[in-house]
């Protein structure tokens, strides 16, 4: 699933190539992929893109008149810039034709697993008030103090807390496992048992990892492509995710796999110790 770094790489490409372009046609190939009113004019037909704004794993294309499209990438979504009249690949559910300085190109929204969607809103403010107000602070900007406050009274595991988008937005399975390993915190630790020092280290490590991944174009496990169609490279840097049964890069112990928060979770039993009093089952 695209997490914050993968979505950010898409947004950076769109910011470079689409801002200032005008949408000249909208083609909906699977109507269920467009939520809310499905009139093409709602998908910014005729409008010029002013900016791209991301929060967590979601992002918005905002037009110069203030109307926006909100994108959820789901489990396998991508939004790719393609040449004008290029062949439409399988699972492209919506595409837009844009024009910039007299030159046309296309934007293809592809999603093989179909958990994503796009929805139009009248303004950025409505998105912030109705959709993004339910999300926690963006993971790349959250402070240790904000995370500390959001973990108070959370008796479930720290892994479940990191995946909970209302606590912080943007982290999924990859970056939860990688940041907990880097901070030597067991994924089953109760979220409210972390000291402030541990929370500070966790936020610090998480943000370094997220920024490194963005720098590497994100992690491409199956489907991720940036807006220009390139795969990411950060999967080569993963220290625990997808490496169960292999040796820990720090101590050589065999990495273990458990199910935590209904997600496969990989950790080092030697580097990430668990005290019985701090343990939770979720
Ligand atoms: Zn280890």
102-145: pLDDT as tens digits: 999 999 999 888 888 999 999 999 999 999 999 999 999 999 99
Is a pLDDT exceeding 60 seen at residue 282? no
Catalytic residue list contains 57: yes
Apex CA 221: angle with CA 215 and CA 223, to 5°? 95
Q: What is the pTM of this model?
A: 0.93
The string of DSSP codes covering the chain is ---HHHHHHHHHHHHHHTTT-EEEEEEES-GGGEES---GGGGTTT-BEEEEEEETTEEEEEETTS-EEEEE-TTT-EEEEEETTPPPPTTEEEEEEEEETTEEEEEEEE-TT---EEEEES-HHHHHHHTGGGS--BTTT--HHHHHHHHTT--SBHHHHHH-TTTSBS--HHHHHHHHHHTT--TTBBGGG--HHHHHHHHHHHHHHHHHHHHTT---SSS---TTSPPP-GGGG-SSTT-TTSBPTTT-PBPEEEEETTEEEEE-TTTS---GGGB---
What's the rounded mean pLDDT across residues 169-193? 97
Distance 35 CA to ligand 1 centre (A): 45
Distance 90 CA to ligand 1 centre (A): 42
The confidence score (pLDDT) of residue 99 equals 98
Catalytic residue list contains 279: no
| Domain 4-134 = CATH 3.40.50.2300 | no
262, 282 contact by CB (below 8 A): no
The confidence score (pLDDT) of residue 195 equals 96
The confidence score (pLDDT) of residue 229 equals 84
Q: What band does 40 get if pLDDT is binned at 50, 70 and 90?
A: confident
Catalytic residue among 17, 184, 200, 263: 263
The confidence score (pLDDT) of residue 20 equals 97
Is a pLDDT exceeding 70 seen at residue 277? no
Nearest of 62, 55, 75 to residue 15 by alpha carbon: 62
Between 10-24, 35-49, 97-111, 210-224, the lowest mean confidence (pLDDT) is in 35-49
Quick one: fold of 144-278? Helicase, Ruva Protein; domain 3 (1.10.8)
The confidence score (pLDDT) of residue 167 equals 98
The confidence score (pLDDT) of residue 38 equals 64
The confidence score (pLDDT) of residue 116 equals 87
Distance 253 CA to ligand 1 centre (A): 5
Is a pLDDT exceeding 70 seen at residue 65? yes
Is a pLDDT exceeding 90 seen at residue 221? no
What's the rounded mean pLDDT across residues 88-112? 93
Catalytic residue list contains 148: no
Is a pLDDT exceeding 80 seen at residue 168? yes
Q: What band does 281 get if pLDDT is binned at 50, 70 and 90?
A: low
Catalytic residue among 3, 6, 8, 62: 3
Distance 254 CA to ligand 1 centre (A): 8
Between 48-57, 63-72, 112-121, the lowest mean confidence (pLDDT) is in 112-121
Catalytic residue among 54, 57, 67, 189: 57
When the pLDDT of each residue in the chain is averaged and rounded to a whole number, the result is: 93
All structural domains of the chain with their residue ranges:
4-134, 144-278
Nearest of 23, 11, 29 to residue 47 by alpha carbon: 23
Catalytic residue list contains 247: no
What's the rounded mean pLDDT across residues 24-29? 94
Distance 193 CA to ligand 1 centre (A): 22
Between 122-131, 188-197, 218-227, the lowest mean confidence (pLDDT) is in 218-227
Distance 109 CA to ligand 1 centre (A): 40
Nearest of 103, 113, 272 to residue 181 by alpha carbon: 272
Q: What band does 161 get if pLDDT is binned at 50, 70 and 90?
A: very high
Distance 96 CA to ligand 1 centre (A): 48
Distance 187 CA to ligand 1 centre (A): 14
Is a pLDDT exceeding 90 seen at residue 75? no
11/218 Cα distance (integer angstroms) = 12
Distance 117 CA to ligand 1 centre (A): 39
Catalytic residue among 2, 5, 112, 187: 2
218/215 Cα distance (integer angstroms) = 7
């Amino acid at each position: 699933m695209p997490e914050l770094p993968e979505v950010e790489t898409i947004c950076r490409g769109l910011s470079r190539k689409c801002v200032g372009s005008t949408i000249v046609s909208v083609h909906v190939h699977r109507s269920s992929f467009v939520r809310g009113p499905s009139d093409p004019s709602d998908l910014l037909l005729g409008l010029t893109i002013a900016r791209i704004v991301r929060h967590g794993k979601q992002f918005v294309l905002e037009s110069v008149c203030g109307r926006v499209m909100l994108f959820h990438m789901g489990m396998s979504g991508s939004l790719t810039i393609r040449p004008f009249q290029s062949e439409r690949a399988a699972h492209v559910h919506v595409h837009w034709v844009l024009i910039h300085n007299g030159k046309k190109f296309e934007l293809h929204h592809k999603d093989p697993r179909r958990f994503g969607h796009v929805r139009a809103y009248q303004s950025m403010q409505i998105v912030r008030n109705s959709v993004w107000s339910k999300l926690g602070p963006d993971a790349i900007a959250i402070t240790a103090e904000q995370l500390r406050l959001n973990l108070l009274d959370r008796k479930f595991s720290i892994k479940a807390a990191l995946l909970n988008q209302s606590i912080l937005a943007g982290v999924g399975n990859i970056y939860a496992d990688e940041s907990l390993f880097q901070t030597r915190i067991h994924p089953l630790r109760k979220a409210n048992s972390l000291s402030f020092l541990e929370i500070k280290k966790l936020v610090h490590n998480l943000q370094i990892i997220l920024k490194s991944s963005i720098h590497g174009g994100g992690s491409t496990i199956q489907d991720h492509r940036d807006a220009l169609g390139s795969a990411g490279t950060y999967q080569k840097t993963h220290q625990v995710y997808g490496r169960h049964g292999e040796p820990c890069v720090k101590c050589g112990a065999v990495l273990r796999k458990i199910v935590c928060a209904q997600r496969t979770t990989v950790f080092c039993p030697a580097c990430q110790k668990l005290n019985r009093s701090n343990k939770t089952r979720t």
